[in-house]
Amino acid sequence: MKRRSFIQNAAAVAALAGFSNSAFGGNQTDLKPSNAAKFKLKYGPGLGSFSELVGKDPIDVIKFCSDQGFTAMFDLGLPHYEINMQEKIMAELANQHMDMGPFLIYADFSKETMVLKNAEVREMLVKKVTDGVEVFKRTGVKCGLMVPGRYNEHMAWDYQTANVIDIMRELSDIAEKAGLTIVLEPLNKQDHPGLFLTGMPQTYAICRAVNSPACKINDDMYHQQITEGNIITNIDESWSEIAAFHIGDTPGRKEPGSGEMNYRNIFKHIHSKGFDGVLCMEHGNSIEGKAGELALIEAYRIADNF
């Protein structure tokens, strides 16, 4: 057996041992948490997580995650839920004393948007942020995520950067007046070739130039491990501008412990800096089915054990 497969299977067995056998009987009320102690950081499972164990109802998922010790949730697609469901989700999160990670304001990987000085694009982006403000007012979720889109092959890079800064100043002014924070996410060139925003230093420089409390960084550590590595160093250098994190190991974009990243040390470092935001679990599971969902919880217990 390959070492990686052995570790994954061992994690699954360890996780399964912490639950009653009724967890596999389809009766959600019989599920027993392996460890109800709260995690040290606000790791946020997706609202679609744990569907094998508890089904697809977001409220059931929130309750289950709270029972496992999670203190946050995550769903980029929150604005697309029916308004009454958004309200139910936020009410249950409040009941469980849980936070919600950033929702998606705008990300189109196929178009050049912020790099252009274009009136039509500007109007579209203003509308997206204005809609995001309404989601914030309705739900209280503090951060909305944006991606600047593709770069232009014919325009000098510095002009594109200046255009991104200009439009982000305008968008941040709208968001700041309402109390919403826009988080910009750099993505790696391997999975998403052609995008303008790829690195932490680049994103940090843009946020510093925008100079608004409403323009910050969503540090997706999966992307940044591929792009530049030096995860902890880049966290330190960009710290004043980071408002949220995404989690995912590489290769594979699965749970911590499935790849090359030392998430225990990364989480320890983030915790030592007093971070109180959400670390969104934007990744898949390395093991399928119920065993994989239980192994996922165990993986976070291991990574949180610092």
Query: What CATH number corresponds to the domain at position 256?
Result: 3.20.20.150
Give the span between the Cα atoms of 255 and 285, in whole angstroms: 6
* pLDDT value of residue 5: 44
Give the span between the Cα atoms of 50 and 157, in whole angstroms: 43
Give the span between the Cα atoms of 223 and 188, in whole angstroms: 5
- DSSP class per residue in 170-224: HHHHHHHHHT-EEEE----TTTSTTBS---HHHHHHHHHHHT-TTEEEEEEHHHH
CB burial readout 194-220, b (16+ within 10 A) else e:
ebbbbbbebbbebbebbebebbbbbbb
What pairs with residue 103 in β-bridges? 144
Domain of 140 in residue numbering reads as: 3-303
* pLDDT value of residue 36: 73
* pLDDT value of residue 11: 45
Assigned token pair, 267: 């989480």
Cβ(155)–Cβ(113) below 8 Å = no
* pLDDT value of residue 3: 35
Question: 3-state DSSP call for residue 242?
Answer: strand
Average pLDDT per block of 10 residues along the chain, 306 residues long: 41 44 38 70 97 97 98 98 97 98 98 97 98 98 98 98 98 98 97 98 98 98 97 98 98 98 98 98 97 98 98
Cβ(157)–Cβ(163) below 8 Å = no
* pLDDT value of residue 42: 98
Neighbours of 21 (CB within 10 A): 9
Cβ(44)–Cβ(100) below 8 Å = yes
Domain count, the chain: 1
